[in-house]
């Protein structure tokens, strides 16, 4: 199995850009299935802990399947499979659209798993060497770092409020909404305070003190990177030509 960090993050960004573009461009279910399988294999090769990642995305997958279900129910075209009092509940076309949606989202999620095999610092350096302004790259990577912090913050507060004797499963919907509303403000305030502290720390460390930045670590492409990008381009051309 290829070690995830043996590839340059720019190569991974390149692969992800190609896979996501193909996933969005094609509508044919057979092609989408093929792209999905290729992405799955690639993600498995690069990420030895793919099952753990999928487990962590369990809730997101439930939402994806729910949206796919709603989409299939709301599509009226095609041969009717289930009908209820004259109303078309499920058609073969609706099912096809739902499957396309699941495959497309699956491709994008698996492609993003490939990126996450590089550290935040490596991705930042890769984007800088791709000539993207440092300030923008820093903001994006910091925002990515903040998302799990925001989630942890919300989980902590939700746990703490239940520990005050609030049995969330047993209270009514209106009270649940009140709790969510109650928790929203502290989560936002806490995130803003953390962002403010971070910005002060960065200023103190000399961020933007000089007009240009140098970096101790420089990424360089290896033969493996060139080969991976070459194979990706060939596969992409094959897709475009054959379809």
- Tokens found for residue 196: 């403010």
Q: What is the smallest separation between the CB atom of 113 and another protein, expressed in angstroms?
A: 17
* Least distance from another protein to the Cβ atom of residue 172, Å: 10
**E-state strands within the chain:** 80-84, 87-91
Which pairing describes strands 87-91 and 80-84: parallel, antiparallel, or unpaired?
antiparallel
Q: Is 164 in the site for another protein (CB under 8 A)?
A: yes
Cα atoms in the Cβ-side hemisphere of radius 13 Å centred on 184: 6
Kindly state whether residue 54 participates in binding another protein, applying the rule CB under 8 A: no
Q: Which stretch binds another protein (CB under 8 A): 7-15, 129-137, 160-168, 234-242?
A: 160-168
| 79 touching another protein, by CB under 8 A | no
Q: Does 157 bind another protein (CB under 8 A)?
A: yes
Closest CA to 9 of 179, 215, 172, 229: 229
Closest alpha carbon to 124 in 108, 140, 112, 147 = 140
Q: How far apart are CA 109 and CA 101, in angstroms?
A: 12
Closer of 45 and 154 to another protein (Cβ) = 154
Count of residues in contact with another protein, rule CB under 8 A? 25
CB 68 within 8 A of CB 98: yes
Which of 3, 48, 120, 175 forms a contact with another protein (CB under 8 A)?
175
**Based on CB atoms, which residue is closest to another protein, 168 or 221?**
168
Give the residues across from 91 on adjacent strands.
Answer: 80
Among 169, 206, 223, 242, binds another protein (CB under 8 A): 169
User: Contact residues for another protein (CB under 8 A)?
Assistant: 156-157, 159-171, 175, 178-179, 182-183, 185-186, 189-190, 193
């Amino acid at each position: 199995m290829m070690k995830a960090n043996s590839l340059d993050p720019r190569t991974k960004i390149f692969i992800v850009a190609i896979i996501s573009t193909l996933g969005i461009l094609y509508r044919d279910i057979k092609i989408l299935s093929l792209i999905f399988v290729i992405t799955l294999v690639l993600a498995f090769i690069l990420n030895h802990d793919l099952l753990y990642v999928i487990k962590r995305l369990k809730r997101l997958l439930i939402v994806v399947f729910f949206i796919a279900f709603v989409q299939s129910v709301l599509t009226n075209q095609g041969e009717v499979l289930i009908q209820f009092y004259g109303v078309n509940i499920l058609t073969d076309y609706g099912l096809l659209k739902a499957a396309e949606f699941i495959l497309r989202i699956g491709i994008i999620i698996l492609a993003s798993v490939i990126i996450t095999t590089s550290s935040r610092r490596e991705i930042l350096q890769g984007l800088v060497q791709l000539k993207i302004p440092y300030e923008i790259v820093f903001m994006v990577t910091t925002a990515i770092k903040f998302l799990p912090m925001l989630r942890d913050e919300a989980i902590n507060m939700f746990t703490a409020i239940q520990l005050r004797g609030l049995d969330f499963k047993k209270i009514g919907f209106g009270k649940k909404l009140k709790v969510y509303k109650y928790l929203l403000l502290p989560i936002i305030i806490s995130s803003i305070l953390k962002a403010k502290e971070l910005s002060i720390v960065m200023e103190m460390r000399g961020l933007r003190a000089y007009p240009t930045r140098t970096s101790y670590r420089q990424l360089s492409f290896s033969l493996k990177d060139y080969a991976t990008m070459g194979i990706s381009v060939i596969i992409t051309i094959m897709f475009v030509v054959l379809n």
